[in-house]
Amino acid sequence: MAMTMAEKILAKAAGKKESEAGEIVMANIDVAMTHDLTGPMSVESFEKIGVDDVWDPEKIVVVFDHQVPADSIEAAQNHIDMRKFVEEQGINNFYDVREGVCHQVLPEMGHIVPGEVVVGTDSHTCTHGALGAFSTGIGSTDMAMVFATGKLWFKVPETIKFNVTGNLAEKVYAKDVVLNIIGKIGADGATYKACEFGGETTQKMSVSDRMVLCNMAIEMGGKTGLVEPDQKTFDYLKGRTTKSYEVMKTDEDADSLEIMDIDVNDLEPQIACPHHVDNVKPVSEVEGTHIDQVFLGSCTNGRLSDLRTAAKILKGKRVSDSIRMLVIPASREVYTKAMDEGLLRTFVDAGALVCNPCCGPCLGGHVGLVGPGEVSLSTSNRNFKGRQGSSDAEVYLSSAAVAAASAITGKISDPRDL
């Protein structure tokens, strides 16, 4: 039976030879991740089940990233409660306030490998499909059951494969590709589907860029994002993990597979405009839009490649006095490498604020919030009302290059013009 990657991975996890879209399977979970914001709810639900011990502490990963350092007494108490849970349950894969954003930390630390099922109490857990894993966000009560049993049921999703072809123009990036796709199919265009990214353009992309694509699968309604593992995947995993893994690939004649061709030859930088991620326009249509803040970071575009892109544009220039710019590396690894390369010095010299690795303003509840009437240009993944602070503010989404260029001019700008 011809199957997609998603069908093959879920079949294996369920102990079956085959699975097909629409089927309900009970899957064994390989990695279960929670963080400081949603973790306390998962723990509370777990304790109500009445089970003393988690099913396998070595398969649970806890990351503090959303409110770090603690920005309120409530956040501090959440940290205290989660540290207690980690200690009581003997969870060794615990990353306290210093390590960074969960979706960057898990791949860096070798927790993600091809062919496994990964769940996390965060909607952007789909990021990890960039390494060929079936990875998806779940609710806190679902995570409580995973903690207790190591299993979770899934309806096997259909797959939509984006066959991305063509050569990206200078200063056009993976973020522009995925925003363009979301703009084409809409925020509900791939509801409960596995969003697989393939084609020659995807194959040329680094693992970091593939993470950008998979990170935003949820923004088109997807259940997960996926990229077929290749030599770039294997090279990324070398030295990071000791886990064995099985590579699975989509059969092109699978019944549940839909293919959508995406030509990026003439693609220009893309902007998601308020207040919906699928309200996407080319930068030429929104150039000159006033902004108050630029946020470079998040689990979408806070990686080393993004910081390098932005620093190259900002080198020797100044952030406009009319705005403020926040630079938040996605992890400690990214932070230290950026420091070693002099990137952080470039940002500081330009007048940007460099913050500790964390989610920052992305969740709308920590540092760098925007106030009523203000406009944020962000490299993150969502721009709903209130996403980065006030519900009377506006958020535009872009690549790191657009963000850096706009920080210099104080308005949304095309990086190709600098």
Binding site, annotated residues for [4Fe-4S] cluster: 299, 359, 362
Kindly state the tokens that stand for 316. Answer: 């020797």
| Helix, strand or coil, per DSSP, at residue 252 | coil
Kindly state the tokens that stand for 368. Answer: 């760098």
In this structure, how many other beta carbons lie within 10 angstroms of the beta carbon of residue 56? 14
Q: Please report, as a single letter, which amino acid is at residue 352.
A: A
Enumerate the known binding-site residues. 299, 359, 362
CA distances from 353 to 296, 344, 410 (A): 10, 9, 15
Contacts of 82 (CB under 8 A, 6+ apart): 36, 39, 40, 43, 62, 64
Q: Please report, as a single letter, which amino acid is at residue 111.
A: H
In this structure, how many other beta carbons lie within 10 angstroms of the beta carbon of residue 84? 11
CA distances from 122 to 22, 42, 84, 258, 343 (A): 24, 12, 21, 27, 29
Contacts of 223 (CB under 8 A, 6+ apart): 6, 126, 136, 157, 192, 193, 194, 217
User: How far apart are alpha carbons 213 and 195 in whole angstroms?
Assistant: 9
Kindly state the tokens that stand for 416. Answer: 């190709």
| Helical segments of 216-362, H only | 231-237, 298-301, 304-314, 332-340, 343-350
User: How far apart are alpha carbons 109 and 240 in whole angstroms?
Assistant: 6
Q: 415 near 402, Cβ under 8 Å?
A: yes
8-state DSSP, 219:
G
Starting at the earlier edge strand, list the strands of the sheet with 257-263.
224-227, 193-198, 158-165, 257-263
Q: 205 near 230, Cβ under 8 Å?
A: no
